[in-house]
Amino acid sequence: MDYLTIIQILDSSVRLATPLLLTCLAGLFSERAGVVDIGLEGKLLIAAFLSGAAAAVTGSIWIGLLAGVAGSLAFSMIHGLASITFKGDQLISGVALNFLAAGLTVVVGQSWFQLGGRTPSLSGDGRFAPWNLPFSDAMAKIPVIGPAYDELISGHTALTYLALLAVPLSWWVLYRSRFGLRLRAVGENPSAVDTAGISVVRLRYAALVIAGVLCGLAGTYLASLAAGFVKDMSAGRGYIALAALIFAKWRPWYALWATLLFGLLEAIGNRYQSIALGDIVIPVQFMQALPYILTVIILAGFVGKAIPPRASGQSYVKER
Amino acid sequence: MTLMKSFLGAAAALALTSGTALADPAIIFDLGGKFDKSFNESSYNGAERWKAETGGSYRDVELQSDAQREQALRRFAENGFNPIVMAGFSFSTALETVAPDFPDTKFVIIDGVADAPNVRSIVFKEEEGSYIVGIAAAYAAKGDTVSFVGGMDIPLISKFACGYAQGFKSVKPDGKVIVNMTGTKPEAWNDPVKGGELTRAQKAAGSEVVFAAAGGTGLGVLQTAADEGMLAIGVDSNQNFLQPGHVLTSMVKRVDNAVYDAFMQGEDLETGLFVMGLANDGVGAAIDEYNEALITPEMKAAMDDATAKIISGEVVVHDYMSDETCPAFDKPGE
């Protein structure tokens, strides 16, 4: 394995981790406010579909982005309505959204485009173009740092940089702003927040809005990367993001490392489908199962105790 | 949603059959869905062609999960549809259970074999078609590396890969064929993002031509190949038009012909095992206005030559599924 290969694998990891990171942060905001969000997968899917559809029709991925975020937001609000306003079970509402997205995208897609739930392929401005950071061509000639800068740091799409920026931003919002303090409190002890005269319902909705926007970005990223929507294209990424969230103990910086780790494992699995170690050949199935195996192992032993926000999963009933 | 769909489907099937006396044919699509631009769509096209030519009507259902196979078969058989065509190797077990219970109904299984007197089993020699596109890939690649992206990791897909590798190595014996599978679960048929990443990894490892046999995942492969300036090879249906100028050819499997023939013959169709290969136009490499420019004369000559030799029996392409090994695969890890 040479240096360039390592860079290429890391580059691929970043691409694969971007949607996971955005989705993981979405889950983080939602669960920190005490709303379990198993519907991340559905939001990803509906966002991917709407952004793919809007971008295909208008030819602009930016309009697609708006449509994707709007769709994801709408789903978030349905989740909020069911589980915050009407105090329904958050898990059931989330699962229902996943099914709704899986069916709706195909049925609506078929009636709009007659392509069996696919959207037409996106091209040109219908996708996010890679951003080449300044001097990347010139820097590429410098040994060691050059290729790393050119391949790994430069040349991703706007959403990747946005996702990376979202990490410190989330940290700041959660731990350094008044809003964040209240948000965390609402996930731990909503009655205390209520006693202080702050609306629990409003805070939880605010968290779901943030989650909706982040999922919308992630879905649009998928549609842009694959140049269109294909049914079920989220392929379980929403669930992986949930696993990463537990892994990350509901913290933004840990979320970054956890999703990068998942991305890295997938990239290695893609690049080396079978690895020969002397006489023993590690089969490809093992490489593909590695992220899941690792989740179990790390959760069981290494990560320490992952304690979810205390009030997550419970709807808040005001005492009278 | 899925559940509701099947309920609605059941209701619709019942409502429609209650009044009809003459048996209509029916078709069951496999998990990829009937518009997968690939295998299922090809069978759908065959059924639609029959419908357009004869003015008849047929019922269809798209499966949403493995558990529905037997259920769907029984429902169609009980409602008197005849023949019942199913597209997909995964039906073998379910069909062997169901077929004896309905001796007067004819079943057609495409891509699989079921042992019962009222079943027509149609199998394709994908290895032969893949061999031909492997030759095309060898002529199109300047270097000596090409690659393959499969969908779900099953022997049938390795059969494509094996034929492809043999064809490629018949031209470039010392060349390298990178074979990657997307996954081991049904999601592997619908993950274009992962398909794209696999393609990028293969390009980084030197591949110039990628053959995708991966359903919806293949669309991501074709897209990435176009983005990265590689050539791709489509599968099952003619996919040349998807990325004009970047799809070298498509390994077409004339599933549509198989469905069309079965529907045409109706209740009187012959049962038994039918093998569709190069000799009876069951498989082949698609050439049309979208890829003409990519097919060089010597490439075409080599492809035609190999086709003739396979038909005459001079060249025998190894079938991966016969012994689950492939002489043309590289040793793992190399």
What is the C-alpha to C-alpha distance for residues B330 and B205, in angstroms, rounded to an integer?
14
CA dihedral B286, B292, B297, B300 (to 10 degrees): 0
Is residue A286 in a domain?
yes
Q: Residue B49 forms beta bridges with which residues? A: none
Is residue A30 in a domain?
yes
* pLDDT tens per residue, range B201-243: 899 888 999 999 988 889 899 999 998 899 999 988 888 888 8
Is residue A310 in a domain?
no
Peptide bond into B83 cis (omega under 30): yes
For residue A166, what pLDDT band results from cuts at 50, 70 and 90?
very high
* pLDDT tens per residue, range B303-317: 999 999 999 989 888
What is the C-alpha to C-alpha distance for residues A50 and A63, in angstroms, rounded to an integer?
10
Domain count for chain A:
1
Provide mean pLDDT across the span B14-22.
Answer: 48
* pLDDT tens per residue, range A80-116: 999 888 988 889 999 999 999 998 998 888 888 877 7
Q: How far is CA B239 from CA A314, B26, B29, B153, B273, in A?
A: 50, 26, 19, 22, 28
Q: Do B33 and A8 touch (CB under 8 A)?
A: no
Q: What angle do CA A259, A262, A263 make, to 5 degrees?
A: 85
DSSP A129: P
Is residue A219 in a domain?
yes
Count of Cβ atoms closer than 10 Å to residue A232 Cβ: 22
**Phi, psi torsion values for B235, nearest 5 degrees:** -145, 155
Provide mean pLDDT across the span A269-286.
Answer: 70
Mean of the per-residue pLDDT values of chain B: 86
Q: Residue B119 forms beta bridges with which residues? A: B107
Domain range enclosing A257: 3-302
Domain map (residue ranges) of chain B = 2-124+256-276, 126-253+287-320
* pLDDT tens per residue, range B36-58: 777 788 889 899 999 999 988 99
CA dihedral A155, A22, A193, A73 (to 10 degrees): 110
Six-digit token pair at A53?
């559809």
Closest Cα in chain B to A267: B197
* B34 has a pLDDT exceeding 90: no
**pTM for the structure as a whole:** 0.81
What is the C-alpha to C-alpha distance for residues B150 and B157, in angstroms, rounded to an integer?
6
Q: Do A117 and B35 touch (CB under 8 A)?
A: yes
- Taking contacts as CB-CB distances below 8 angstroms, the residues of chain B near A289 are 184
Is residue A82 in a domain?
yes
Six-digit token pair at B49?
């062609």
* A58 has a pLDDT exceeding 50: yes
* B301 has a pLDDT exceeding 80: yes
- Domain B126-253+287-320: give its CATH architecture: 3-Layer(aba) Sandwich (3.40)
For residue A21, what pLDDT band results from cuts at 50, 70 and 90?
very high
User: Using beta carbons and an 8 Å cutoff, which residues of A are at the interface with B?
Assistant: 5, 8, 12, 15-16, 19, 99-100, 102-104, 106, 110, 115-118, 121, 222, 225-228, 230-233, 235-236, 266-267, 270-271, 273-276, 281, 283-285, 288-289
- Report ipTM for this prediction: 0.81
The strand order across the sheet containing B119-124 reads B59-62, B26-29, B84-87, B107-110, B119-124, B272-276
- Domain B2-124+256-276: give its CATH architecture: 3-Layer(aba) Sandwich (3.40)
* Closest Cβ–Cβ partner in A230, A275, A285 for B333: A275
- Taking contacts as CB-CB distances below 8 angstroms, the residues of chain A near B239 are none
Count of Cβ atoms closer than 10 Å to residue A104 Cβ: 18
Core vs surface per residue A45-57: b (16+ CB within 10 A) or e:
bbbbbbbbbbbbb
For residue A227, what pLDDT band results from cuts at 50, 70 and 90?
confident
Which pLDDT score, from 0 to 100, does residue A4 have?
A: 78
What is the C-alpha to C-alpha distance for residues A181 and A103, in angstroms, rounded to an integer?
38
- Taking contacts as CB-CB distances below 8 angstroms, the residues of chain A near B192 are 226, 228, 230, 233
What is the C-alpha to C-alpha distance for residues A224 and A227, in angstroms, rounded to an integer?
5
Count of Cβ atoms closer than 10 Å to residue B319 Cβ: 17
Is residue A315 in a domain?
no
For residue A157, what pLDDT band results from cuts at 50, 70 and 90?
confident
CATH code of the domain containing A242: 1.10.3470
What is the C-alpha to C-alpha distance for residues B208 and B230, in angstroms, rounded to an integer?
5
Which pLDDT score, from 0 to 100, does residue A228 have?
A: 85
Q: Do A235 and B187 touch (CB under 8 A)?
A: yes
Which pLDDT score, from 0 to 100, does residue B20 have?
A: 44
Which pLDDT score, from 0 to 100, does residue B9 have?
A: 54
Is residue A307 in a domain?
no
Q: Do A166 and A19 contact (CB within 8 A), yes or no?
A: no
Closest by CA to B29, choosing from B74, B77, B65, is B65
Whether the CA torsion B128, B126, B189, B165 is positive or negative: it is: negative
Core vs surface per residue A126-155: b (16+ CB within 10 A) or e:
bbbeeeeeeebeebeeeeeebbbbbbbbbb
